[in-house]
Amino acid sequence: MSGTFKSEVEFVVNDKRHHAVIRSADTLLRVLREQLGLTGAKEGCENGDCGACTVNVDGVPIKSCLMLAIEAPGCSITTIEGLGGDAPMQRAFVEHFAFQCGFCTPGYIMVAHALSQQCPNASEDVMRRWLQSNICRCTSYEEIGKAVRSVISNSQK
C-alpha cells in the first residue's frame, strides 16, 4: 500500500481559524509558511538547534520545525505576525537595536514575549536560561538581553 495520506485539519493561529490539508509528517513550520503564508517563523537548522522557527503554542515557545502539524489542532498558536508589530517586546528590540540581519529576531521575540507573559518578574538567571534556546549568528546577545530586561523591568513597576 503506497501513497500519501492527507487530512484536513483546523488550526487557530493568531486568533483566526485556518484550514489546511496536511500529511502526518508535515511540521508546523512547513504548514505555517507554505499553506498559511505566515513566513515570520524562519527555516534555520530544521532540527531544533537555532530557534529561528519559534512560535508560541498555548503560550509556550515551541520550535515549529520539531512539532508535527497534526499535533497542533486544538492549540492556540501565535506567530510573530500575531503580535501585530507593536507589542512591547517588538518595540524593545527596535529601541535597543537588538538585531542585525534580523533572521533570528522573530524567534527571539517569541521566546522573550512568552517569558514576559509567564515570568514577568524573571531574574537575570531565568531570562538567560530562556534565551539560550535561540542562536544569533550576528552576536547581538547584549542588545537582546537589554531589550528583554527593559520589558521585564517595566512590568515590575
Cβ neighbours for 95, distance < 8 A, ≥ 6 positions apart:
147, 150
pLDDT for the residue numbered 3: 58
The C-alpha atoms of residue 136 and residue 125 are separated, in whole angstroms, by 19
Pick from 60, 53, 54: nearest CA to 75: 60
The C-alpha atoms of residue 71 and residue 84 are separated, in whole angstroms, by 25
The C-alpha atoms of residue 59 and residue 153 are separated, in whole angstroms, by 20
pLDDT for the residue numbered 116: 97
Predicted confidence band of residue 1 (pLDDT cuts 50, 70, 90): very low
pLDDT for the residue numbered 157: 54
pLDDT for the residue numbered 138: 87
Global pTM reads 0.93
Q: Which three cell numbers stand for residue 94?
A: 527596535
